[in-house]
Structure 1
Amino acid sequence: MPYKAAQTAALATTSYIMSVAIMRGLVIVLMALDHVRGFFTDADFSATDLSRTNLMLFLTRWVTHLCAPAFVFLAGTSAFLSAQGEDRRQLAIRLLTRGLWLVILELTVVRFSWYFNLDYNQMSLQVIWALGWSMVVLSALIYLPLWAIASVGILMISAHNLLDGIRLDDFRAADGTHGWQGWALSVLHIPHYPVIYPLIPWIGVMAAGYAFGPVMLAASETRRKAALACGIVLITAFVILRAYNVYGDPVPWSGQETGLFTLLSFLNTTKYPPSLLYLLMTLGPMFVLLAAFEQAQGSIGRFLMIFGRVPLFFYLVHLYVIHALAVAVAFAMSGDIQSSSSETFSSWWGFGLPVVYLTWIAVVILLYPVCQWFAGLKSRHRGSWWTPYI
C-alpha cells in the first residue's frame, strides 16, 4: 500500500488498535516481573545459567525475553499508526525529537532509577537507549518505500550474526583502550560497558515493526490471520534453524543431563545482542498473541490495555517503585543499607520466587490506578505537544 494511501486508510479507521495496546500492556507488565526479580531475587547467578538454575527460575527469566523485542517492534508499528494526517517531514521530526528525548531519559531519569546515585561511573545503556536511537534512524528510513524499510529491517535482523567472529580485542591499542573502532563496534554490535543494548539488531526490529504497520490498518480478521501466519512462520524458522545449530546464535544448544534441561538449552538463546534465533523465538509468539488479542478483549484485555496506553510512563515509574520498595524492605530487615544499587545489596539480601511473584503482583496492582489516571490525562490532552513524549 503506498504511504499516502495508508494514511488515508488510517484516517478512515483508527490509529488506536486495541490488540496492539493489549500486547504492549502485556510486555510492559512482564518487564516489571523481570525487574522485580532483578531487585528481589536471592539468586546470585544468571537465571539462564544451566549449571546452576532451576526450571521455574529459568522460565521466569525466559518468558520476559518477549518484552524487549515486542516493545521495540510495536514502537515501530505504533509510529506508523500514529502518523495520521502527517507528511513524512512531520513524522520524521517527531521520531527524531522523541528518539533523542528517550536517549536523554536513559541517561538521566532511567539511570537514576537503577542506581539511586549520581555516580556516572555506574551506567548501563539499555532498552530506552536502544529505542531512542532506533527512532532517530527510523526518522531517516521513513523516506524510503515501505518495501525498502522492511528489507533493511529483515537484513539487520537476519545478517547481523555474521559479525559474531569480530572481537573487541581485535581493536585493542597499546594503551589497552579499544579506540574509536572498538567503541563503534560496541555501540553497534558487541555489548561492552556501558552499552548493554547494541543498536544494529534493535534498529532492524523497529524498522520491521514500522513496515508491518499497514497490516494493522486492515480489518480485524485480516490482521488476525496475517499476524498468526507471521507467528507460525517465525516459530517454525526458529525450530528448524536452532535444531541444525548452523547459524543464528553464537552459542549452540547442547545435550544436558536430562531431557528437560536439553530443552532449556535449546531455548537458551543470546539476548546481548539479540541473535537472529532469539528474535525468531520472541517475535514469533508475539505475533501469535497479537492474533489472539484481536478476538480476546475481555476484562484481562481491558486491564492490560491501560498499561499499553502509557508504556513509557509505566516504565519510568515502575523502576522507582520497585527500587524504593527494595530499599525500604532492606532497611526494615537490617536497619542499615550499605548500598541502594540493585547490583550491590549486601550478600544476605534476596528472596525466593514466591516473594518475587507476590511483589510483582503488588507493584502491578499499585500502579494500575496511577496508569489509569495518566491514560485519562493523555486522552484529554490528545494533540498536545507533550503527549508523544511520555
Structure 2
Amino acid sequence: MTTTLTKYRIESIDLLKGLVMVIMALDHTRDYFHWSAMQFDPTDASHSTLPIFFTRFITHFCAPAFSFLAGMSAFMVGRRKSKSELSGFLLKRGLWLVFIELTIVNFSWFFDVQFRNPALLVIWALGVSMIVLSALIHLPRKAILWFSLILIAGHNLLDSLHFQGNVLWNIFHEPGGFPLSKDYMFFVAYPLIPWIAVMSLGYCFGTFYNADYTPAKRRKLFNTIGFSALALFVVLRFTNSYGDAIPFTDYPTLSKDLISFFNPSKYPPSLLYLLMTLGVTLVFLANSENLKGKIVNFFSVFGRVPFFYYIIHIFVIHFAAMLYAQLTGYGADKLILEGWITELPRMRGYGLALIWVYVIWIGIILLLYPFCKWFDNYKQNHKDKWWLSYL
C-alpha cells in the first residue's frame, strides 16, 4: 500500500505535525495555569512528581519532531521547485519567522507593549534553521547528512565551555540572558546548535519518500533507525558516558529515578535528548502511514496549518489565564508580564490543580479546531495566493 499523498502532502507527516502541535499546547497551558509552574521546575526530581513531570516530558517531543518534519517538508517543496527557487523560499520564510518571533510571538507570551524581555524562542530557531538550510541544499546530500550528524553527535563536546555574558555564545550554544538596561533583559532560550542540524537531517530523510522507496522499505528503515536511536539513548543514559551535560542521578525512589533518567537536557538539546525524541519520531513515521479515520483527520487539520495554530494558541491561552486571574480576584493585570511567567515572584500562589490544566487544554484545542479547519480549507482552495505559503 502506498503512502497517501494529497498534491505533494504526505498525510502521516501532517498527522505527526498535528499531534505535536496539540501536545505542545499542554505544556503552555501548564505554564499559565498550574500552581507548580510558579514554584519549581517540573523536571526537578527533588521537587516534582510523576504526573507533573510526564505532563512536561510528553511535550519534549514537540520541538525536535517539528524541526525535523520542517526539514522533510522543505524537501517535499523542493520536488516542484528548482534549487534556487527553494533556496530563496527558505531564506525569505526564515527571515519572516525571525521577525514574527521578535514581534507577534514575543508579545503573545508577555502582553507587554514595552517588550521588556525580548526572547529568542523556538520560532527563531526554526527561522534561522531555514536560513542555514537555504544554503546547505546546494551541497551534495551526503555532505548535508554528515554536517547534520556531526553537529548533533558532537556538540556536547562544547558543554564544558562557558563564556559569561557572551551573546554570540548564547546564540550558538549556551542559553542565557543579559541586561540591555535596568528594565530590559534579552534572553536566548534556543541556541542554534544543534537545532539547525535537526532540520537539515529532516531534509535528508525526505529522500526516503521518493517514489523509488517503497512504504515497506521505508517502514523497515525508519523502525531500525528509530529503535536503534532509543537503544543508544538508554545505554548512554545509564552509563553517563557521553551525550548530556546533566547526568542521570540514582535516587532512593523509583519515581525520582524515572524523572532523572528521562530528563536529558533540552536547552540546548543534547545528543541524548535528540536520540530519545527523534527516535520516537521515526518509529511513529514508520508505523503511521496507513492510519485513517476521524481522529487522524482531526489532528491532521492542525498539522496542515501549524504556524497559524501556533500564533493563535498562545494568545488564547494567555487571554484565558487573564480571565481566570480576574475572576478569582488575582487580577488580570498581573498577567501583563515583564518576564517569563514562571519566574516572577508575584505569581507564587497563583494557579490550579493539574486536572484542571488538562480540562483547560482540551477546551482550548476544541475551541481552536474550527478556526484551524476554516483556515485549512481556505489554504486548500486558494493555492494561487503566494502569501499563504508563509502562514
**1:284 is aligned to 2:282:** no
Give 3-state SS (helix, strand or coil) of 1:303's partner.
Answer: helix
Which residue of 176, 189, 200 corresponds with 1:192? Answer: 176
Instruction: Indicate yes or no: 2:116 matched with 1:115.
Output: no
Mapped partners of 1:348, 1:311: distance in 2: 33
- Aligned equivalents of 2:255 and 2:45: distance in 1? 11
Task: Report the CA distance shift for 1:18/1:364 in structure 2 as closer, same or farther (over 3 A).
Answer: same
* Cα distance change, pair 112–221 in 1 and its aligned pair in 2 (3 A): same
Tell me which residue corresponds to 1:332.
327
Q: Give the distance between the partners of 1:72 and 1:130, measured in 2 at CA.
A: 9
Q: Offset at 1:270? A: 0.4
Shift of 1:346: 3.6
- 1:295 deviation in Å? 2.4
Distance 1:339 1:316, change over 3 A: same
Distance in structure 1 (CA, Å) of the matches to 2:361 and 2:227: 31
Alpha-carbon deviations, 1:5-41, whole Å to 9, x = none?
A: xxxxx9x995210000000000000100010001101
- Find the counterpart in structure 2 of residue 147 from structure 1: 142
Matches within 5 A, 1:5-44: 14-43=7-36, 44=39
Taking structure 1 as reference, are residues 356 and 302 closer, same or farther at Cα in structure 2, changes over 3 Å only?
same
Task: Provide the residue aligned with 2:195 in structure 1.
Answer: 202
Q: CA deviation at 1:297?
A: 2.4
For 1:227 and 1:300, how far apart are their aligned partners in 2? Answer: 23
Distance (whole Å) between structure 2 residues aligned to residue 383 and residue 283 of structure 1 = 34
Secondary structure at 1:168 match in 2: coil
Letter in 2 for 1:235: L
SS at match of 1:330: helix
In 2, Cα distance between equivalents of 1:348 and 1:54? 18
Aligned partner of 2:305 in structure 1 is 310
> Identity over the aligned pairs, expressed in percent?
44
Match of 1:225?
220
Q: CA deviation at 1:74?
A: 0.4
Q: Label 1:346 to 1:235 Cα distance change in 2 as closer, same or farther (>3 A).
A: closer
1:296-336, Cα deviation, whole Å (9 max, x unpaired): 22222111100000011100000000000000111111163
Structure 1 spans left out of the alignment, 5+ residues:
1-9, 170-177
1:138 to 130, 133, 137: 133
Structure 1 length as normaliser, TM-score?
Answer: 0.91
Decide which of 204, 208, 211 is 2:204's aligned counterpart. Answer: 211
Residue in structure 2 matched with residue 89 of structure 1 by the alignment? 84
RMSD of aligned residue pairs (Cα, Å): 1.6
How far is 1:294 from its partner? 1.1
Q: Which residue is 2:67 aligned to?
A: 72
Quote the residue 1:183 is aligned against: 167
Query: Are residue 358 (structure 1) and residue 389 (structure 2) matched?
Result: no
CA distance in 2, matches of 1:258, 1:216: 45
SS across alignment from 2:9: coil
Give the equivalent residue in structure 2 for 1:6: none
Cα 1:37–1:382 change in 2 (3 A) is: same
Match of residue 184 from structure 2: none
Assess, with a 3 A threshold, how the Cα gap between structure 1 residues 117 and 231 changes in structure 2: closer, same or farther.
same
Give distance in 1, aligned partners of 2:159 and 2:331: 45
Distance in 2 separating the partners of 1:383 and 1:212: 28
Q: Which runs of 5+ in 2 are unaligned?
A: 178-186
Deviation at 1:292, TM superposition (A): 2.3
Residue 375 of structure 1: aligned partner: 376
Partner Cα separation in structure 2 for residue 259 and residue 80 of structure 1: 43
- Asked if 2 retains the 8 angstrom alpha-carbon contact of 1:191 and 1:197, the reply is yes
Cα 1:13–1:363, aligned 2, differ >3 Å: closer, same or farther?
closer
Q: Does 1:239 align with 2:234?
A: yes
Question: Aligned partners of 1:165, 1:330: CA distance in 2, in Å?
Answer: 42
Tell me if the contact between 2:129 and 2:199 (Cα under 8 Å) persists in the aligned partners.
Answer: yes
Query: How many pairs does the alignment contain?
Result: 369
> Which secondary structure does the structure 2 equivalent of 1:212 belong to?
helix
CA contact (8 A) 1:29 1:307 kept: yes
Q: Could you tell me how far apart the structure 1 residues matched to 2:69 and 2:112 are?
A: 32
Deviation at 1:183, TM superposition (A): 1.6
TM-score scaled to structure 2, two decimals? 0.91
Q: Tell me, yes or no, if the aligned pair for 1:338 and 1:346 is still in contact at 8 Å.
A: no
